[in-house]
Chain A
Amino acid sequence: MGVDPHSRFVEIYESAYEPILGYVLRRCPHPEDAADVVAETFTTAWRRIEELPEGDEARLWLYGVARRVLANHRRGERRHEQRTAALRERLAAFPALARPPEDEISQMGRVFRDLTDDDRELLSLVAWERLDHGQIARMLGVSRNAVRIRLYRARKRFARGLAKAGIDHPRAVALEGSSL
């Protein structure tokens, strides 16, 4: 890789910051914690810049890192760093995040939250990150076929959960941009 690490990192940071922040915010119960997860994710990218794949693959790589960092944070490894203080404040007051508390979320939200972490993550990657099977496969390091099968099962479980909750809404399961 001929490009020097500094300009490469700046380029990756500028193009991936928003999707990664979005990815983390959508999965973090507290928006201000997202700052630390984003910081740790990009720190990993900086340390391992030579390993980062080219182009859009870099974003998938970063999703993978963010997923792991999030898992660690959920396991209690939460730590507010000095360098994220400003960003934390910004996110805590972010207008788009001002939304009703969790228990006012729809019944569908509750069914979704009751899915396993794996199912929820797969469905989210399609609905929120808009990744296709191939991209999810590369991000998770599994085969396309495995993604296809897992997604199929996750959707079925979600549909079953919705049916049980008395929600009859096929569109909720047929996520846009994806055909099954």
Chain B
Amino acid sequence: MNLTDLARVRDKDLAGEASVPEARTLMHAIMSEEREPVAAARPRPKVRRRLVVSFAAGLSLATAAAVAVISPAMRSDSTISVAPSVSATAEPTARQILLAAAVAMEKAPASGDYWRTATVNQWMLTDPTRSYVLEGRRSLETWLAKRPDLQYWRIWQDLGVKPATPQDEAAWRAAGAPTSWRYPKNMKTENLFSVPSKPLEAAAGERTAERLYGKWKGSAGDMAGDSMTWKEVRAIPSEPDKLRNYLEERIGRLELAGSGMDVEEARASILLRDCVGIISGLPASPEVRASAYRILASLPGIRAEGEMTDPLGRRGQTLSYQEEIEPGLFAQVQLVVDPSTGLLLAEVRTNTTKLANGRQAELRLSTSYQAIGWTDERPELPAHRN
């Protein structure tokens, strides 16, 4: 016996399978689907091409948008429709949702006194004995101003910790309904959450404001971890193709070899992250933010999951993609978008873990956006200062 004998099926067992009716039906069904148009204009980089997450070969973004606006249902080319239609529903595709969001985003206000983002972050972790899952919430507002006479502020509040689901609540009651959890420093978490260094408290905290000084002076937030000045943000090109080149050039300067990830794939996933970063928080022009949506619309691997409520209970269209956290380990990322305003409502990451009793539990990490954009309002400052 050798390794070959362990194979479930040999290639010779499958001879002729490609021409059976079932295989032909599938082929026609696939070919009746819409295909991504690829513009000839953009030279494709001479690299090994591979896998699903490889760069979308230069789709002319402007053309794609125009096509979608004129007729969202239009096929990219004439296709043979032999098999019954694959999806007869009216559910919009990921690309249609992203392009609609781009169009709406262009109408967002382009200026104001403050660039404000207000979020609610929710995260889950197991209790120290891994018997149930806890969910914590924290709100955070950031107020950045271009005018030198206005101050930068950050205001946050811990909104408390509680069992994540009714099932977790039952386990929590069975454990005596504790309201504080102390974690051993060396607790194993499979990198799915960080071990709280201080005891975790169930009670909500006080709303606290912090004035931002120092490195924040003149800062317009950050892109992919790099602090950006207002001038640098203004210089970001707004044309989709130019924005993409700009981002790819920045990504090209990163040292990615040796990360254990395939460089090409790492770049593709950073491009996606950069676009989400621009949409979710950079005080760039509405055109730049719209273009970030258009780039997302051209990327492979993002799919529509239909209408869903975000962690704050708001309805939106859900898009999802897989993120490779480490080779072979994927996290599911969902973006909830309101296509009518172009605003990102929430970003949700889901992992699973095994509890002490063997139950598979979901660990969700989410950021819900209550506001992203320009305002002439002023922050409501609590008495408590840091």
Residues of A within 8 A of B (CB): 5-6, 9-10, 13-15, 17-19, 21-22, 25-26, 31, 35, 38-39, 42-44, 46-53, 61, 64-65, 68-69, 71-72, 75-77, 81-84, 86-87, 89-90, 94, 96-97, 99, 105-106, 108-109, 112, 117-118, 123-124, 127-128, 138-139, 141-142, 169, 171-172, 175-176
Q: Which residues of B sit under 8 angstroms from A47, Cβ to Cβ?
A: 33, 35-36, 300
Contact A96 B13 (CB under 8 A): yes
Bound Cα distance from A5 to B36, whole angstroms? 11
Shortest B142–chain A CB gap in Å is 34
The listed residue (B7, B21, B38) touching A127 by CB distance below 8 A is B7
Shortest A85–chain B CB gap in Å is 9
The listed residue (B3, B29, B79) touching A123 by CB distance below 8 A is B3
Q: Does B10 contact A (CB under 8 A)?
A: yes
A22-B10, A48-B300, A65-B52 known; A42 and B1 CB under 8 Å?
Answer: no
A17-B18, A42-B26, A51-B57 known; A25 and B8 CB under 8 Å?
Answer: yes
Contact B2 A18 (CB under 8 A): no
Interface residues of B in 38-55 (CB under 8 A from A): 38, 44, 48-54
Shortest B262–chain A CB gap in Å is 5
Q: Can you show 5 pairs from A to B with CB atoms below 8 A apart?
A: A9-B27, A48-B36, A72-B330, A82-B84, A118-B327
Q: Which residue of A lies closest to B38 (CB)?
A: A50
Q: Which residues of A sit under 8 angstroms from B10, Cβ to Cβ?
A: 22, 96
Contact A176 B4 (CB under 8 A): yes
Other contacts beyond A83-B83, A97-B9: 18, CB < 8 A: A14-B19, A42-B26, A50-B57, A51-B54, A52-B49, A64-B51, A65-B51, A68-B53, A69-B52, A75-B330, A83-B26, A86-B26, A97-B8, A106-B1, A108-B1, A112-B6, A139-B50, A169-B2
Task: Provide the main secondary structure of the chain A interface.
Answer: helix
Q: Which residues of B sit under 8 angstroms from A139, Cβ to Cβ?
A: 50
Q: Does B14 contact A (CB under 8 A)?
A: yes
Shortest B48–chain A CB gap in Å is 6
Contact A49 B26 (CB under 8 A): no
Q: Which residue of B lies closest to A108 (CB)?
A: B1
A13-B18, A39-B30 known; A61 and B50 CB under 8 Å?
Answer: yes
Q: Which residue of A lies closest to B261 (CB)?
A: A141
Bound Cα distance from A117 to B330, whole angstroms? 14
The listed residue (B22, B23, B31) touching A9 by CB distance below 8 A is B31
Q: Which residues of A sit under 8 angstroms from B265, Cβ to Cβ?
A: 141
Bound Cα distance from A76 to B329, whole angstroms? 12
The listed residue (A35, A50, A68) touching B51 by CB distance below 8 A is A68
Contact A18 B11 (CB under 8 A): yes
Q: Does B249 contact A (CB under 8 A)?
A: no
Task: Provide the main secondary structure of the chain B interface.
Answer: loop
Shortest A58–chain B CB gap in Å is 10
The listed residue (B8, B31, B322) touching A26 by CB distance below 8 A is B8
The listed residue (B25, B38, B86, B300) touching A86 by CB distance below 8 A is B25
Q: Does B232 contact A (CB under 8 A)?
A: no
Q: Which residue of B lies closest to A19 (CB)?
A: B11
Contact B77 A44 (CB under 8 A): no
Q: Does B328 contact A (CB under 8 A)?
A: yes
Q: Which residues of A sit under 8 angstroms from B80, Cβ to Cβ?
A: 6
Contact A171 B30 (CB under 8 A): no
A5-B77, A6-B80 known; A175 and B3 CB under 8 Å?
Answer: yes
Contact A112 B20 (CB under 8 A): no
Shortest A143–chain B CB gap in Å is 11
Q: Which residues of A sit under 8 angstroms from B57, Cβ to Cβ?
A: 48, 50-51
Bound Cα distance from A15 to B86, whole angstroms? 24
A51-B49, A123-B3, A127-B4 known; A46 and B14 CB under 8 Å?
Answer: no
Bound Cα distance from A18 to B19, whole angstroms? 10
Q: Which residues of A sit under 8 angstroms from B264, Cβ to Cβ?
A: 141
Contact B27 A10 (CB under 8 A): yes
Shortest A10–chain B CB gap in Å is 7
Q: Does B206 contact A (CB under 8 A)?
A: no
Q: Does B17 contact A (CB under 8 A)?
A: yes
Contact A112 B52 (CB under 8 A): no
Contact B4 A87 (CB under 8 A): no
Q: Which residues of A sit under 8 angstroms from B21, Cβ to Cβ?
A: 86
Q: Which residue of B lies closest to A94 (CB)?
A: B9
Q: Does B15 contact A (CB under 8 A)?
A: yes
Q: Which residues of A sit under 8 angstroms from B23, Cβ to Cβ?
A: 17, 87
Q: Which of B6, B25, B265, B332 has the most CB of A within 10 A?
A: B6
Contact A42 B27 (CB under 8 A): yes
Bound Cα distance from A13 to B19, whole angstroms? 10
A21-B14, A26-B9, A83-B86 known; A46 and B33 CB under 8 Å?
Answer: yes
Contact B52 A44 (CB under 8 A): yes
Bound Cα distance from A97 to B7, whole angstroms? 10
Q: Which residues of A sit under 8 angstroms from B352, Cβ to Cβ?
A: 76
